[in-house]
Amino acid sequence: MSVEAGSVRSRTARLVRALGDQERGRFTKLVRDYDHREPAAEAFLEAAGEPWWLRVAAAQAASWVGSDPVIRDDELIVGVECPPRVVDTHYTVGLRFNREMARTVLARSDSQRLSAVIRSAGEQLQGRTAGERIEQWCAERGLTRTNDIYWAASFQGHMVLDWAKLLRVGVGGLIEEATEWERQHSGRGRRLARAARVLAEGLRDFIAGYAVRAEEMAAGAAGSRADELRQIARICRRISTEPAASFHEALQLFWFGFLYDGSDNPGRIDQWLHPYLQADLESGAITPDEAEELLEALWVKFNEVRGWNLVLGGQTPDGEDASNELTGICLDITERLGLPAPNVSVRWFHGTPGWLRERSIEVVGRGLGMPAIYNDEVIVPALTRLGIAIEDARDYAFGGCTEIQIPGKSNLGGEDANLNLAKCLELALNDGVDMRSGTRLGPRTGDPWRFDTFEQLYGAWQSQLRAATDAMIEITNMAQSVRSECGAKLFRALLTADCLERGLDPDGGGARYGHGEVMTLGIAVTADSLAAIREFVYHRGSVSMGELHDALKSDFDGRERLRLALLRDAPKYGNDIAGVDALAARVAGDFWRLLRRYSTHRGGRYGGGVIVLGRNIPFGAGTAATPDGRHAGEPLEDAVGPRAGMARRGPSAALRSAARIDQTLGPMGVLYNLTLPEELFEETTRSKVQRLVEGYFADGGQQVQITVASAERLRAAQANPEAHRDLIVRVGGYSDYFVRLSPELQEDIIARTRGAGRQA
């Protein structure tokens, strides 16, 4: 951890040091040991005969109420996740049964009752969980959910809930609302409202359990800690039913709701939390120092559960500057603690004050990979182009790493699917057949060496793209339906506009905006490959299509001279070269326009985005050699920028190339990974970085996320991980410790540093 003793408040430093028990090799949490209880399974079994949604709701509520409250030393914000269980629920799928864990528990447990509960739940859940039903549907039709062309029905989970509503009406208000809709509805709507009420009542009882625990601990404590525990008890007792009435209460109620939902995204925290801070500061109920200590406690909590995207700045719904004093405080805490979570993002628009722009760049320069910076001037039009009202578009935030959502009003999928444009080109160059396996993956589009023009080849690519998209969307829509039937997001109906009124869950079309998100991979590789074919085959005529085809199929075996010519002599996207940049804009735009022809099961349209999340590595591994000189299996590009090592004219040129893509066609987030050297962030030079970002935004770019590191430093971290445990890099929409990334992802990030800083 990057916090050193004395650099922050001593309490916070102790809490941060406790996080050091996390395993660094992957995203892990401070999970609790198995407690030999299965409250979710028991509640599910006891609700036999009830509608499925009621059984799911009963299980989720029991999971939390049936877990012992844990309050750690020094904590001011309390609440931990449930222990790992054989049966639990998750917002992506509803009920889950961990069969591997079940085998372990059954082999070791001497409790006949526990074993009977696990076996009975396993039998009743067999074939009925969302994952099993989705895989069975695909198997029956000879389809695969994941392959080298697309990942269909991917995560489908992230949302940003209406946290302001939770604080405003309280848990008691949620119970009353659900009860009223239960009276008004019948059928499906009544079942949804009843399930929502059960979940709200579970949240009430979960919070009340912490009040009891804090009171018990206070009785055995002394001095200031006893006073703190009594205050925690009073706060928990009150917010178990009532709205938040203070800054501390608002933070604590949010945290309980955040945990209970599944630990997703806080959204625009400086908007929904600021009124409570302002009121307490004005009344003298809290000091600025006390407020910051509470926020630091929340930041530590985010790192216990790997909380995701927190958004600062931007606009109000009426288009005014939304930044406030809390905006700056959140940036200060992010810089001071130096933790990888939450993913802090800052929104800029024409009215963003200079202090926030400058402070954003200054914090980026600390080497945290944060904040990522977003451009309202492109994202808001992209959302309104999709049919989202402008006042809602101005309120956008992010689900998960950086998937765009409308807080409290949308279920936009959150990684509905991913598609590899470069694999579609491979199929177009081999009449629909995978070059390495010989398996037919796409339709017959003709022998490429018989194409007389470049446009014929491009048409074959479009045909492969349409066929892949058809299959991907069919599976993805089916999965949305299955997730809805399985009760994947029932609690979210309470904090997502229109769900209870419509009587529809978020996956079933209840959210006001139900569009879908498809992540796009391979823009740069496809554009570079098409540019090489156009140049060498159709313009120069120096390489025949047959010769190129054979070279690709053999991964350039014995044809290294040809590979180097394709790699070095053909124009490459990312160097401000109009011709190849136009091809990148064309392939991205054609795909994103194609997506809009498809409807989601949730009642919206699909939209494209570029949020790679390290998936350029597995998709690249499944893609044959490509005409840009890339070897088979090498990674694709990691965002909307050029492929690693291809930005030969520095970041300014690379950004101009990316801005030639019409990013208003990508309403689900178009990321640019930029790596810059540390010396650019010195006080005398970091204004250059600000101008670089502002120039990209003026040209039409959506977003920039910056890793501040040299290849030498990253190599040193590989060689000596223990000495570089605190090195944080930007991955593909989130920040993480470099040393706990996979070797493949480390190499991909190092490859980004080639040419970093030139012509900045």
* The total number of structural domains that make up the chain: 3
Give a yes or no: residue 89 inside a domain: yes
Q: How much of the chain exceeds pLDDT 90, in percent?
A: 87
CB 374 within 8 A of CB 119: no
In this prediction, residue 21 has a pLDDT band, given cuts at 50, 70 and 90, of: low
Give a yes or no: residue 181 inside a domain: no
The number of helices, as runs of H, and strands, as runs of E, in the chain is 29, 15
Work out the mean pLDDT of the chain and round it to a whole number.
94
- Mean pLDDT score, 1-16: 71
Give a yes or no: residue 612 inside a domain: yes
In this prediction, residue 18 has a pLDDT band, given cuts at 50, 70 and 90, of: confident
Question: Do residues 75 and 131 share a domain?
Answer: yes
Question: Do residues 588 and 730 share a domain?
Answer: no
Predicted TM-score of the model (pTM): 0.94
- Mean pLDDT score, 127-136: 96
Question: Do residues 687 and 639 share a domain?
Answer: no
The CA distance from 521 to 525, in Å, is 9
Cβ count within 10 A of residue 10: 10
Question: Do residues 457 and 598 share a domain?
Answer: yes
Give residue 721's pLDDT: 82
Note the pLDDT tens digit of each residue in 441-476.
999 999 998 999 999 999 999 999 999 999 999 999
Look up the domain containing 10 and give its range.
Answer: 1-30+266-399+676-760
Give a yes or no: residue 196 inside a domain: no
State yes or no: cis peptide before 342, omega within 30 of 0.
yes
Give residue 6's pLDDT: 40
Question: Do residues 442 and 564 share a domain?
Answer: yes
Model confidence at 30: pLDDT above 70:
no
The CA distance from 532 to 282, in Å, is 64
Q: Which residues, 6+ apart, have CB-to-CB distance to 238 below 8 Å?
A: 245, 249
Give residue 757's pLDDT: 45
Model confidence at 28: pLDDT above 80:
no
Strands 703-708 and 673-676, bridge-based pairing: parallel
Model confidence at 19: pLDDT above 90:
no
Note the pLDDT tens digit of each residue in 320-374.
999 999 999 999 999 999 999 999 999 999 999 999 999 999 999 999 999 999 9
Give residue 760's pLDDT: 45
Q: Identify the DSSP state of 146.
A: B
The CA distance from 51 to 198, in Å, is 13
* Range scoring the smallest mean pLDDT among 31-45, 87-101, 540-554, 736-750: 736-750
Pick the closest to residue 613 from 754, 750, 748 (CA basis): 748
The pair of structure tokens assigned to 207 is 């919070």
Note the pLDDT tens digit of each residue in 256-283.
999 999 988 999 999 999 999 999 999 9
Q: Of 148, 182, 206, which one is at a domain's C-terminal end? A: 148
Give a yes or no: residue 207 inside a domain: no
Q: Where are the beta strands (DSSP E) in 368-497?
A: 372-375, 397-399, 403-405, 417-420
Question: Do residues 338 and 426 share a domain?
Answer: no
Model confidence at 649: pLDDT above 90:
yes
Give the residue, 200 or 415, on which the prediction is more confident.
200
Question: Do residues 481 and 367 share a domain?
Answer: no
Give a yes or no: residue 91 inside a domain: yes
Question: Do residues 627 and 532 share a domain?
Answer: yes
Question: Do residues 643 and 501 share a domain?
Answer: yes
Model confidence at 415: pLDDT above 70:
yes
* Range scoring the smallest mean pLDDT among 45-59, 473-487, 702-716: 702-716
Give a yes or no: residue 168 inside a domain: no
Q: Of 654, 671, 688, which one is at a domain's C-terminal end? A: 671
Q: Of 115, 148, 181, which one is at a domain's C-terminal end? A: 148
Question: Do residues 445 and 557 share a domain?
Answer: yes
Question: Do residues 494 and 472 share a domain?
Answer: yes
Question: Do residues 589 and 737 share a domain?
Answer: no
Give a yes or no: residue 322 inside a domain: yes
